[in-house]
Amino acid sequence: MTKKIIPDKENMMNNLLEIKNLNIEAFYEDSWQPIVRDISLNLKRGEVLGLIGESGAGKSTIGLAAMGYARQGCRIASGSINLDGTELFTKIRRPVTHQNLPFDSGNTTTMLRPIRQ
């Protein structure tokens, strides 16, 4: 008996954040330079994700991009950012607030003041 493989809709709906092939650029010396290259990640509901790395590695830049932000002088060049079923990069060209996606930049002056809506 042949079994037809159908994508698991329940599993797809459990993804809170899905980033595919994210590329971010910064304007430096009169041209756009890549600063984040081809990052992909998946965060399911109920999971906690921490990005670790050296200073300047792009952790905060990726976190901000996950909410639709780019730092001054930077841009999201390509990739897919899907937050709770909404494609941010292609459909929404403004920052997004989402009650289920808190962001902590690691800045000690803001760490103990969570964002409330």
CATH of the domain at 67: 3.40.50.300
Residue 17 lies in a domain: yes
Residue 2 lies in a domain: no
Element of type H or E holding 59: helix 59-65
Number of domains present in the structure of the chain: 1
Q: Mean pLDDT across the stretch 47-52?
A: 88
Residue 71 belongs to domain spanning: 9-91
pLDDT tens for each residue of 77-116 = 999 999 888 888 664 444 444 444 555 556 555 544 555 4
pLDDT reported for residue 35: 95
Residue 85 lies in a domain: yes
Residue 96 lies in a domain: no
State yes or no: pLDDT of 16 exceeds 50: yes
7/62: higher pLDDT: 62
Q: How far is C-alpha 1 from the chain's CA centre?
A: 42
pLDDT reported for residue 66: 86
Q: Mean pLDDT across the stretch 23-30?
A: 93
Residue 104 lies in a domain: no
Residue 116 lies in a domain: no
Residue 112 lies in a domain: no
Q: What b-and-e string marks burial along 75-109, b requiring 16 or more CB atoms within 10 Å of the CB?
A: ebbebebbbbeeebbeeeeeeeebeebeeeeeeee
Q: What does the radius of gyration of the chain's CA atoms come to, in whole angstroms?
A: 16
pLDDT reported for residue 32: 93
pLDDT reported for residue 62: 92
Residue 22 lies in a domain: yes
pTM: 0.66
